[in-house]
Structure 1
Amino acid sequence: MADLVHKRGKRQDDNGLGGAVDFLLANARLVLGLGGAAVLAIATLAVKRLIDRATSSPDEDDTKAEQKSIEESWQDLSLIKAVPKPPKKQSRADLSESLLSPSAILPAQAAETPGHPTSLETPQVESRTLLCLTFQEKLLSYYRNHITIPESDVALGKQLAKDICIELQSFLQNKCPELPFGSMFLSGSLCDDLQVVAADHVCFMLPLVFETTLWSLIPGEDTIVKDPQFWMIRRTDLEYFPRGSSPWDRFIVGRYLSSNVINEALHKMLVASVNWPAIGSMLECLIRPVMASEELKLEVTHYETQLNITLCPVTEAGDKVLLAKPPKGLVENLWRQSFYRSEVSKLKDLDAADSGARRCCLKILKGVCKNHPFLSKLTGSHLTHVLLHLSETESDWAEEALAARFQHVLEALVGYLETGFLPCYFNRQINLFCELLEEEIDEMGYALYSAVSQPDLLLQEQADK
């Protein structure tokens, strides 16, 4: 390697710097190993060339050649540091193949494992203070500095949402007095102390009240899509109670209540009928409905506060909570079963029973995934169900075990992505990955697979954004 570097960067140095650098590179392989020597060689060569350019006067052609050589050196450095992505067709099958290999051991674990020497090839990219922190301490620091939302921001977001909710409820009652809407209420992670990074999203749940004698629920397994997560609501007894007997009959498509038709009607009202400028002026904020969204969304700006609101028509029957949120496709009459209330309740009960840190772990995971180019497809619901599954096999969820549990969640996620199937905790027949594309699953799997061996770098990537 010393010969190769010498050929690409040979130049006479008046003060002997070139000779010292060449001697260093020639012996680096013996000290640092092949990989470490390669990184040191390229980085040192680049610095040497910059010094040479400042102390000499090459002609124009030499200068261009010098610049090109430096650029090629840094490209080589990035190639050495990069982890090659597995071939597309093999990525899912190979995701967890080497999780138990020596290369997958965490740096902190390697130092604690007898007979396992600490690698000298780890690039020194963090400050001395950060390098002294254990992974456990890094997780808690990330939670404090990047996850936790100031109480004042949470209170402001909730109050702003409540005020808008009251105004929207009043409008719907005046605009559609014949439709039996229930009392609208706030829902989502902002209300359950599970929101991360910023208090910027909340859901308005709009209950639709049905006549139990005129409507019946069709389980997902009995629908045309055969998916247990998506139900249908059928109009019954049309022979005795013809159309018009129920105020919801106007939203029927083929004897089934259409979630799409209801959403379209509400979208038209949000966009064209509600006087948002007047409401915004009264509440000292700017409210804009999202025109092109498939969901019912509002964007709210209150000075420096940004709040996104999603309106969710919902109906409940017994312990079933169904949202007017059909899957993408040609089927218009499907209603999605929501497990959010059960997820939050179960997670809270588990933590209360053993003083666990599951909710803390969940919020860190949500923060890591929130703005990641690939992992943003993983929702809070996905992550919650992984935690619930893991709680069945891992009993220690104390704060002192946070690092180990975080690592186990990453490994479990890789396993679920490898199979393309994440079973719902409350109904194992439901695949929570069913709406993800194969390409998205592969990208998420690779990102997590690469992070399993060094999860602290995943924290650093998001902290730097």
Structure 2
Amino acid sequence: MLTDIIKNDKIWSTSPGVSVGQEVMDFRWGRSRGEEGIAVVINFLLANARLVLGVGGAAVLGIATLAVKRLIERAGREADDEKVEQKMSESWEELSLVSASPKSIRKGLESVVMKHVAKATKSQKADLCQPQQQKSSLEEKPVKASESQRPKSLQLSLTLQDRLHQYYSTRAALTPEVVHRAESLALDICTEVQGFLHTTNPDMPLGEMSLGGSLLDDLQVVRADHACLLVPLQLEPSLWRLIPGEETLLTHPLHWMVRRVNLEYFPRGRSYWDRFLVGGYLSCRALVNMLSKAVMETMNWPSLSSTLDCLVRPVLGGDELKLEIRPERGDPLFISIVPVLREADVVLTAQVELTRPWDSAWHLSLYPWETRRLAQLDSADRGVRRVVLKTLKAVCRRCPALRPLAAAPLVNLILHLSDKDLDWSEGCLSGRFQQCVWELIGYLEEGVLPSYFKSGVNLLNGMTDEEVDEMGFMLYCAVSEPDILLI
């Protein structure tokens, strides 16, 4: 535990790793000596919260800010000594979390956070209801007192289960008409791209192109705005071998390589794909660059736009092959062109943005395995895993603090949880949703969420400490007030 000495308006630390006399921070604000002391404590709290609490650091920051704000506001006005002493002790009880051990901090964190969150959520609900009340007061038709109370009483009677169903139907799920319109538009683009490639590169051995992704699997939420155009490459089985990442120098379980074999019997040039060989391996980057020139830079997009009665244009400036489609009505649609290799149940994709900086590495897609397993589990027990997943995806997409959580961590979270709890019936929707929140908090605390099919893959990699803090704080708040996630 840190032992701090306030000396000459500076904090000196005798904690391990920081020598005595080492200057940590200079605090020079406040109008009186008392305020300087408070400033020192609070600035120390703000500077060291993440070190002490990890994910919960953001929660302590919020608590400290509230407490100090009250202290400073009370210092500027006169009040009864008894009330001042009582309120000061309450504020300093919250601030005492800083000097406690990490274990006691975690025990006291939840109760303190929930007390403030409950108050904030109530005021937030009142603010959200205020515009509706003002709107109803402006209506010319008079409203009886009993009728005006119905919405409020109905809202209070709704259980978490009811609110989740309401959120799913109004916020998460897409209507069949919207999905059909997006699929039809994506299929038109697929047909045009495939016809163009067969015309300009007739000797390129390609399979039948198809659409893929969450739009086709009924897992897309909020808006139907993205899909994948899968371009299957046909390799000669006797000339190529797919090698797992663990067997190569890459050692990454999701980074595979495609090796050219039997060169002594079938020399280079026997296969069409030999032109993309780099060091004996099929180069993912070379193939993507070829498709970028053959499709993105060559197709007549203005002509295609006039044919389909919508704006179609390539999204330039990145490694991903992506098209933007803007129809006359509805949301814009983004289509990613993804070359794929299939062998049995293994699906490798050429996505340079996922395998950077290895030019010859291919990405092992776990998406087919995850969606297949999810569908099998729900079909076996008529469960609500897909509903929970789509609700969580919508919550993360609509909440800025949770937006870094992509679909992959959420679906793997539910698959892990399905091994622990077997009851996923309709009546357990709220319980499973709350349990997912708790499980996410635990994974964020550890900083590791392993893949269901590849335990060596951490699905939380790439997230910054600030993002983890914000997500952890939001989920802590949602434990006692799930409504903050369902707005």
Q: What is the CA–CA distance in structure 1 between the aligned matches of 2:377 and 2:239, rounded to whole Å?
A: 39
CA displacement, residues 11-47 of structure 1 (integer Å, 9 cap, x when unaligned): xxxxxxxxxxx9xx999999xx959x99xxxxxxxxx
Say whether residues 1:348 and 2:375 are aligned partners: yes
- Partner of residue 308 from structure 2, selected from 283, 301, 305: 283
TM-score by length of 2: 0.70
Q: What is the CA–CA distance in structure 1 between the aligned matches of 2:462 and 2:365, rounded to whole Å?
A: 15
Letter in 2 for 1:125: Q
- Partner of residue 153 from structure 1, selected from 169, 178, 195: 178
Superposed, 1:64-463 pairs within 5 Å as 97-98=106-107, 123-126=122-125, 127=129, 128=152, 129-305=154-330, 306-326=332-352, 327=354, 329-437=356-464, 440-460=467-487
Q: How far 1:371 sits from its partner (Å)?
A: 4.0
CA displacement, residues 404-461 of structure 1 (integer Å, 9 cap, x when unaligned): 111111221222222232222123233333444555445434443443343321222x
The residue number in structure 2 matching 1:90 is none
Q: How far 1:248 sits from its partner (Å)?
A: 0.5
- Please state whether the residue corresponding to 1:213 is helix, strand or coil: coil
Q: Please tell me whether the aligned partners of residues 104 and 453 of structure 1 are also in contact (alpha carbons under 8 angstroms).
A: no
Q: Please tell me whether the aligned partners of residues 113 and 477 of structure 2 are also in contact (alpha carbons under 8 angstroms).
A: no
Q: Please tell me whether the aligned partners of residues 114 and 477 of structure 2 are also in contact (alpha carbons under 8 angstroms).
A: no
Q: What is the CA–CA distance in structure 1 between the aligned matches of 2:189 and 2:433, rounded to whole Å?
A: 38
Distance 1:4 1:243, change over 3 A: closer
Letter in 2 for 1:289: P
Q: Please tell me whether the aligned partners of residues 239 and 260 of structure 2 are also in contact (alpha carbons under 8 angstroms).
A: yes
Distance 1:362 1:7, change over 3 A: closer
CA displacement, residues 332-373 of structure 1 (integer Å, 9 cap, x when unaligned): 111111121221121112112222111111111111111433
Q: What is the CA–CA distance in structure 2 between the aligned matches of 1:124 and 1:195, rounded to whole Å?
A: 33
- Please state whether the residue corresponding to 1:192 is helix, strand or coil: coil
Q: Please tell me whether the aligned partners of residues 214 and 236 of structure 1 are also in contact (alpha carbons under 8 angstroms).
A: yes
Q: Please tell me whether the aligned partners of residues 270 and 289 of structure 1 are also in contact (alpha carbons under 8 angstroms).
A: no
Q: What is the CA–CA distance in structure 1 between the aligned matches of 2:368 and 2:444, rounded to whole Å?
A: 25
- Please state whether the residue corresponding to 1:273 is helix, strand or coil: coil
Q: Please tell me whether the aligned partners of residues 98 and 104 of structure 1 are also in contact (alpha carbons under 8 angstroms).
A: no
Letter in 1 for 2:304: I
- Please state whether the residue corresponding to 2:263 is helix, strand or coil: coil
Distance 1:395 1:97, change over 3 A: farther
Letter in 2 for 1:325: Q
Superposed, 1:2-17 pairs within 5 Å as 8=76
- Please state whether the residue corresponding to 1:432 is helix, strand or coil: coil
Distance 1:199 1:3, change over 3 A: closer
CA displacement, residues 348-405 of structure 1 (integer Å, 9 cap, x when unaligned): 1211222211111111111111143342222212111110110111122122211111
Superposed, 1:44-83 pairs within 5 Å as none
Q: What is the CA–CA distance in structure 2 between the aligned matches of 1:106 and 1:364, rounded to whole Å?
A: 26
Letter in 1 for 2:204: L
For the aligned residue pairs, the C-alpha RMSD in angstroms reads: 3.5
Distance 1:4 1:206, change over 3 A: closer
Which consecutive unaligned segments of at least 5 residues does structure 2 have?
1-68, 130-151
Distance 1:383 1:240, change over 3 A: same
Q: How far 1:122 sits from its partner (Å)?
A: 6.2
The residue number in structure 2 matching 1:71 is none
Letter in 2 for 1:317: E
- Please state whether the residue corresponding to 1:330 is helix, strand or coil: coil
Q: How far 1:202 sits from its partner (Å)?
A: 0.8
**415-424 or 385-394: which moved more?**
415-424
Letter in 2 for 1:425: Y
Aligned length: 383
Which consecutive unaligned segments of at least 5 residues does structure 1 have?
11-21, 39-82, 88-92, 108-118, 461-465
Letter in 2 for 1:309: I
Q: What is the CA–CA distance in structure 2 between the aligned matches of 1:121 and 1:164, rounded to whole Å?
A: 48
Q: What is the CA–CA distance in structure 2 between the aligned matches of 1:3 and 1:244, rounded to whole Å?
A: 78
Q: How far 1:97 sits from its partner (Å)?
A: 4.5
**127-136 or 312-321: which moved more?**
127-136
